[in-house]
């Protein structure tokens, strides 16, 4: 049985696109970057910790396979997590405006006997955004609960001038990498 170690509606939607039945695990994993920890290492660690914590929750099932993922927006080596409020969301969008940033998504899959991980690295460029557009976007409520304060699958798609990488990876679960990992675990053909 496959379990998704995430409450993210976007990850549930994306994993559902693979046509799989899966359970959803409610976990509270701290997402805190350690001093001196590289952004890539941070994202990989959090994804592993989510999957590992999920496996502990389903230990009674030796057939369980758990998928954990983490997505972060990175600009100038600064990790932009989920905004804490409207001001934080607006500040993130101001920093991303007119710039190219990275979106790193790590996916970890674990079972009782093995672990594997894949990473999707994408580059996203935003057009220059004035304060009125930023305020309107923040007022839509869309920035909340999303790394970097935006959802590429929603209103932010309008001000995304370039995407190099994985659209689903920027959303939060890169389907190519995820399917490849799940094949290794015999979850899909």
The pLDDT, as a whole number, for residue 60 is 85
Q: What CA–CA distance (Å, rounded) separates 86 from 120?
A: 28
Catalytic machinery residues = 70
Judged by phi (left if over 0) then psi (alpha if -120 to 50, else beta), residue 182 lies in: alpha
Question: By C-alpha distance, which of 18, 7, 54, 3 is closest to 168?
Answer: 18
User: Does pTM top 0.85 for this prediction?
Assistant: yes
CA gyration radius for the chain? Answer: 17
How far the first Cα of the chain sits from its last, in Å, is 15
**Residue-range domains of the chain with CATH:** 2-185 (3.90.950.10)
Q: Using one digit for the tens of pLDDT, what is the confidence trace for 16-28?
A: 999 999 999 999 8
Return the C-alpha torsion angle 16, 20, 21, 22, nearest 10.
Answer: -70
Q: Using one digit for the tens of pLDDT, what is the confidence trace for 44-70?
A: 999 999 999 999 999 888 899 999 999
The pLDDT, as a whole number, for residue 7 is 86
Which positions of the chain have pLDDT values less than 50? none
């Amino acid at each position: 049985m496959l379990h998704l170690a995430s409450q993210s509606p976007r990850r549930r939607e994306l994993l559902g696109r693979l046509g799989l039945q899966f359970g959803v695990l409610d976990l509270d994993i701290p997402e805190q970057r350690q001093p001196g920890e590289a952004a890539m290492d941070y994202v990989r660690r959090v994804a592993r910790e989510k999957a590992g914590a999920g496996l502990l929750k389903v230990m009674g099932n030796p057939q369980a396979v758990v998928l954990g993922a983490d997505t972060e927006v990175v600009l100038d080596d600064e990790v932009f997590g989920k905004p804490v409020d409207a001001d934080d969301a607006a500040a993130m969008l101001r920093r991303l405006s007119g710039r190219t940033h990275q979106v790193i998504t790590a996916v970890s899959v674990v079972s009782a006997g093995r672990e594997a991980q894949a990473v999707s690295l994408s580059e996203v460029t935003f057009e220059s955004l004035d304060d009125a557009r930023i305020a309107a976007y923040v007022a839509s409520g869309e920035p909340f609960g999303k790394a970097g304060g935006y959802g590429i699958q929603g209103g932010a798609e309008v001000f995304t001038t370039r995407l190099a990488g994985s659209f689903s990876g920027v959303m939060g679960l890169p389907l190519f990498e995820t399917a490849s990992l799940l094949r290794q675990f015999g979850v899909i053909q």
